[in-house]
A and B are shown apart, each in its own frame.
Chain A
C-alpha cells in the first residue's frame, strides 16, 4: 500500500511538473535546496523502498536526472543481464529499476535510451527471463543485442597494466551519457560484482580478462576514457553466496537498498560493506583506488543516507 501511494504521488508530481514547467523547471522543483547539483555527495544510499521508488528518492538528492542527461542526448543504460534467471533470483538488475531510470532519462529530455549487455547465458533467454527486455520496451527505450563480435569496436586503454586494448560495444562509443546499473552480488572469482565488474558486459572478450589477472583487468578498464556518468547499484535482493549466478533464493539477503554515485570505486566500496566485506578485501576495488580511479575510504566520504 505504501509503495502504491508513493508511486501515485510521484506520478502525480511528475504530471504536475510536466504541466506547469519546462524540463529545467521540473528539475529545480525536485532538486530542493541542493542546487545546482548533488555533486558534493560522494554517495547516495537509500534503504527501505522498492527499487524504482528508491531511485526516485536517490536521483532527487543528486539534483534530478537533468544533472546527467541533457535534452536531445543519447543515453546508454547498462544493467547486469548476465543470466537466464527470473528477477526473483537476484541474478540480474531489477527490471523495475531499469524501467524507472529510463523514464527519468526521457523526462530529462533524452532523445533515445539504449540498453544492452553481453550476457553469460544465452542472450535471448537472459533478455527475456530477466524481465528487462519487457521493461525496456514498456519504457519506450531500445533493447540492443550484444551477441555478435560485429557490434564491438576496438579501443585503447593507454595506461592499463594488463588490459591495454578491448573491444567495446558500439553503443558505449556512440552514446552521450552512460549510466551503469549493476546489481550487487557475491562473485566466485572477483569476490563481489558491482559497478567496476559490470563493465565485463560491455566488452567482447572476457576470457582475456580471466587469463590475464582478472582483478587488474577490471581496474584497468576503469581507466578507459568513456566512464559512466552515473552508477546506480541495485542492492534490493543481494546474493550473498553462490554468485554471480546463484543457486536458489536462499542465497539472497533482502537488503532493500539502492546506491547512487558518480564514483564507481566508492559505490563498490559501499557495496562490499553492505555484503559484510571490507572494501580492502576486494582486490579490484583496492587496485582501482590505488590507480586513482576513485575513493574507497567510506569514512572520509560525504554520504547522504535516506530511509523510506
Chain B
C-alpha cells in the first residue's frame, strides 16, 4: 500500500485510543460499567502478559495477539494501541508546532546496548519473581500514572469551577469532588517519567520508546522479521530526505535507503511525507544478503553476556529487599501496625505486590478513595502499588469495583458475597486512645460504621458503652478506623492480613414480636 491514507487511519485510530484511555484514568464519576474495563484493557501488552503468566488467567491472551500482530505487521501496537506512545506523538507534534528547530528528527543510531540492557534486566527480574522494574517501565502503567497523578487533578479543578457556576443556577448534575493529593513521595517516579517522556518526545519523537521502553524493544526484535514492513521504492526514491525528517523514530537512513525496523513504529508519516511515492508499506520482499554479520553480532553478544552477569548480581540485591513488608513497629506510629492492607481480591500482600504494576486504575475506580499509592508500606520495591489507606476512606461493603477493573490480575474478580466475607485485615482497638475511656463521653463512631458489627459496643462505666472487636466477623474494611475521631492516633485501626482470610458470617437471631399498639 502506498496511499497516505494509512497515516490518516493511524491518526484517527490513535486519537480515539488516547481519548478512551485518558477517559479511563480521569473519569472520577465512575461512568463506565464494571464489564467495560476487561475488553478495553485486553490488548495492553504488559497487563495481559502478567495476568496470563503470573496470575494464570488463561483467557488473558491479548499479549499473544500483539506478538502475532507484530510478527505480521511490525510495531503497529506502538502507534495504534499504546496510550503512552500516542501521548508522546501528541507531545512531539506540539513540539514541532511550537518550534520546529527544537525537534531533532532525522536518522540517528540506536542506543542498542542501553535498550537491550533494559529489556534483559526487566525480563530477568520478572523471571525471578519481581515485578518492580516492570512497574516502573510498563508503558501502559506509566501512562496511567501520568493521567492519575497530573491530569486528573486538572480535570477535577475545572469540574469544580463548573460545579460552582452551575450550582448558582440550581444545577447539581455536575458535582464538586475534593482534590486530595497522594503522599508526596509517591509522586517521585511519575514526575520523573513525566519529565523524561515529555522532554524526549518533545525533542526526539519516539526516542523513549526505542531506548527505555522494554515493550518497544521486545516488539522491535519481532518486527525485524515482520511480514509487512516499511520499505523504499528504489526506483522512485530521489534521496530527498523528507522521509527521514518526518520520522519520529529517527530510524530511516535515506542515504542508504534502509529502515531500522526494530525502531519503526508504523506511524506511516514517511509515506505521507514522500512526494515521489518512494516509501511504501507492504509484504516483505526477499533480497540478496547485503549486511555483514560481524557488525551486528559482536557488540550485542558482549552486552547480553554483560547484562546477564549484572542481572545475577542485581537480582540478589533486589531480592534482599523482599516485597513482604517488615513491621514498622520501631517507627513513631502508635497504632502498632504490623502489615499494610492489600485490596480484597488480591489474596494477600505478596501475591498482590508480585503482580501489580501500579497503573492506578483501581485508585481511580475506587468510589471511596481508600486505595492510595503506597510509599514504603509494601517495602521500597512496592512504591506506588496501591494499599488500603483508612485515613483516606474505607472499603465500601457492597462494592467490588477494584476487583473488576484490575488488568494485571493483581486484584482478581470477587463475587460480592465472597468479598463480604474476605478478611483483608483485622481491627485492633486501643482503649487508651478511645474517647469513651479518656473523655468519659459517648462516641461509638467506629461501631456505627461497621457493616458486620464486628466492632460492637459493650457496657462500660455508668451508661457508657465502649467498642469491642469480634475478630472472626471483622473483614478489615477500615470503616471503624476512618470514622474514629481521635488524633493524631486512632483508637481503632486495621492491621493487614499478610494472607487474606475468610471471615465468618455475622450471626442473626429473630427479633421478638412487633408492637401492634402505640406504646405511648
Contact = CB atoms under 8 A, between A and B. Distances in A.
B465 interface: yes
B256 interface: no
19 contacts: A120-B483, A121-B368, A124-B29, A124-B30, A125-B399, A143-B172, A144-B172, A151-B176, A188-B444, A188-B465, A208-B485, A210-B443, A210-B445, A213-B439, A245-B448, A250-B510, A257-B518, A274-B518, A274-B519
Contacts of B30: 124
A242 interface: yes
Interface string B367-408: 110000000000000000000000000001111000000000
A190 interface: yes
Interface residues of A, number: 57
A112 B170 contact: yes
Nearest to A86: B398
B465 A253 contact: no
Contacts of B314: none
B176 A189 contact: no
Contact of B441 (A47, A216, A298): A216
Interface string A279-302: 001010000000000000010000
B457 A188 contact: yes
B432 interface: no
B172 A142 contact: yes
B508 interface: yes
Contact of A142 (B170, B178, B443): B170
Q: Which of A121, A215, A244 has the most CB of B within 10 A?
A: A121
A115 to B, nearest CB: 10
B37 interface: no
Contact of B520 (A148, A252, A298): A298
B397 to A, nearest CB: 7
Nearest to A303: B520
A148 B176 contact: yes
A247 B451 contact: yes
Interface string B505-520: 0101111001101111
Interface of B: 29-30, 160, 164, 170, 172, 175-178, 367-368, 396-399, 435, 439, 441-445, 447-453, 456-457, 463, 465, 483, 485-486, 506, 508-511, 514-515, 517-520
Contact of A121 (B396, B441, B447, B520): B396
Given A270-B520, A274-B519, A125 B396 contact: yes
Interface in A108-135: 112, 120-122, 124-125, 129
Contacts of A120: 448-449, 483
Contacts of B442: 189-190, 213-215, 283
A56 B164 CA distance: 37
B175 A145 contact: yes
Contact of A253 (B177, B399, B453, B511): B511
Interface of A: 45, 47, 84-85, 112, 120-122, 124-125, 129, 142-145, 147-151, 187-190, 206-208, 210-216, 240-242, 244-245, 247-248, 250-255, 257, 270, 273-274, 276, 281, 283, 298, 303, 305
B32 to A, nearest CB: 14
Nearest to A145: B175
A128 to B, nearest CB: 11
Given A150-B164, A274-B519, 10 more contacts: A84-B396, A150-B176, A187-B444, A188-B448, A188-B456, A189-B445, A207-B485, A216-B441, A250-B511, A252-B511
B175 A147 contact: yes
A61 to B, nearest CB: 14
Contacts of B519: 273-274, 276
Closest 6 pairs between A and B when the two form their complex, measured CB to CB: A189-B444, A148-B176, A188-B447, A250-B508, A207-B485, A213-B441
B514 A253 contact: yes
B396 A255 contact: no
Contacts of A241: 511
Contacts of A189: 442-445, 447-448, 457, 465
Contacts of B514: 253-255
Given A124-B30, A250-B510, A147 B177 contact: yes
Contacts of A151: 176
A125 B393 CA distance: 14
Contacts of A303: 518, 520
A129 B416 CA distance: 15
Contacts of B447: 188-189
B181 to A, nearest CB: 16
A245 B450 contact: yes
Given A145-B175, A274-B519, A124 B485 contact: no
Nearest to A277: B519
Nearest to A244: B448
Given A142-B172, A143-B172, A274-B519, A251 B508 contact: yes
Given A84-B396, A215-B441, A248 B176 contact: no
Nearest to A274: B519
A286 B146 CA distance: 55
Given A150-B176, A213-B441, A247 B506 contact: yes
Contacts of A143: 172
Nearest to B447: A188
Contacts of B177: 147-148
